[in-house]
Amino acid sequence: MDVLEKIVSLSKRRGFIFPGSEIYGGLGGTWDYGPVGCLLKKNVKDEWWKDMVSLRDDIVGVDAAIMMNPRAWEASGHVEAFVDPLVECKICHKRFREDHFKEFLKSVPVGVGNVAPKKEYQDLFICSNGKPHALEKLTEPRVFNLLVESLIGVTEPKEKIYLRGEITNGVHVNFKNVVDSTRIKIPFGIAQIGKAFRNEITPGNFTFRSREFEQMEVQYYIRPDEKEGEKWFQYWKDNRMEWYLKLGMKKENLRFRDHAPSERAHYARAATDIEYNAPWGWSEFMGIHHRGDWDLRRHQEYSGRDLRYKDLERNEEYIPWDIESSAGVDRSTLFFLIDSFVEEEKRIVLRLHPRLAPYKVAVFPLVANNAEIVTKAHTIYKNLKPFFSATWDDRGNIGKRYFAQDEIGTPFCATIDHQTLDDDAITIRDRDTMKQDRVKIPNIVNYIKDRLEK
């Protein structure tokens, strides 16, 4: 079993991530976050928002609608650019890009017709007979739109709209609203976290490529000047890499990959990815893009509204340039899981950064059949909850409870035992070192706070 399979198994067993609509056979490319998974994902978003918005004076937030006027997607180029020519197997009716299928065929060893070296292609490129699709059974390429369509209205004909393919547009269409309603001045950023949707052709690698996903982005607006563009592009590259390192990702598992001009998106003057060394290879989960004035200029053209910025300090009017930093919430969460996953001789432990851990502390009564110990433990548990995300467990023996918390990344376990009734102290165990300290009950909050801050 490889690392990804172990992560998938752990996620299901411990309540991180479940297959979407599982009792109905699932829906490809969709995932549901369980009790601890939704806490982990929320912590990733909260840490990002704190770093990008709460601790800065030059970035404000918005929360734009998922549904937008379809004209906005024409302006941004998504209606035109979010299309791919696909072929379809006449036998099993799977659809895929012809160039990807030919790449797959080259990777299959000669004479081994039913073995797919690349796991992400196995389900897509293998027909119902267990062998690669026959070329003569494929249709001619047809264009399919990656934007997810929807219909609104109560009467027929209903209006066709798109669920957003990325969250960027909601920021740009509100650029003037933000400028007019705040005291923010260039250079400044607008942050947003939200859902996006795509008709992914090859969803796979667990949550890495999904049809419904979440993004966290900042569009950072600057003067249209080459030196300014270079300065802020480099700043956001360094800033975003440092953020992942501060939250515990191993440096050797991260790298930058600059885009060649031929592979840049239609809007990008420069672009780089932060990639993670995933079990299936280096994979992008964070992008920094110099978008120039593409977005605001196009929205000004298509909407007919003046989106120029009035720079009173320089006595100028111009359409700002945009340096975008865009991260996948689900991909970041997945890579935090993979990066923290450690197998030891007797246990599995997630060495998540304490600020990301779903629970900061778990509270145990040593035994469940002693009313006095259980009552004391419940009182401590209730008193900790206003300060930390805490969980309770009184099942099984204490060793199994420790190991269960190790598997979900809980940094501290607090055990109330017989001695507690005499000395008003409890045992606190550290997840990573397994060292145990005896701590007086009035000192528990400060003990945990001090270690979380470190």
Find tokens 């020519």 and name the residue. Answer: 85
**pTM value surpassing 0.85:** yes
Enumerate domains of the chain plus CATH numbers: 3-62+163-341 (3.30.930.10), 83-145 (no CATH), 359-453 (3.40.50.800)
Give strand pairing partners of 194.
Answer: 215
199: left (phi over 0), alpha (psi -120 to 50) or beta: beta
In tens digits, what is the pLDDT along the chain, a chain of 454 residues?
699 999 999 999 999 999 999 999 999 999 999 999 999 999 999 999 999 999 999 999 999 999 999 999 999 888 876 667 788 888 877 778 787 788 777 766 544 444 444 455 556 788 877 788 888 888 888 877 788 999 999 888 899 999 999 999 999 999 999 999 999 999 999 999 999 999 876 678 999 999 999 999 999 999 999 999 999 999 999 999 999 999 999 999 999 999 888 777 777 899 999 999 999 999 999 999 999 999 999 999 999 999 999 999 999 999 999 999 999 999 999 999 999 999 999 999 999 999 999 999 999 999 999 999 999 999 999 999 999 999 999 999 999 999 999 999 999 999 999 999 999 999 999 999 999 999 999 999 999 999 998 7
Which strand ranges, in their side-by-side order, compose the sheet holding 254-258?
Answer: 59-61, 188-197, 212-222, 321-328, 281-292, 270-278, 254-258
DSSP state of 67: B
- CA-to-CA dists, residue 19 to 23, 34, 83, 213, 329, angstroms: 9, 10, 27, 14, 17
CA end-to-end distance (rounded Å), the chain? 35
Q: How many angstroms separate the CA atoms of 297 and 319, rounded?
A: 7
CA-based nearest residue to 291, from 327, 328, 326: 326
Q: How many angstroms separate the CA atoms of 299 and 68, rounded?
A: 13
Residue 235, judged by CB atoms within 10 A of its CB (0-12, 13-18, 19+), counts as middle
Q: How many angstroms separate the CA atoms of 438 and 449, rounded?
A: 16
Interior CA angle at 62 toward 58 and 68, to 5°?
140
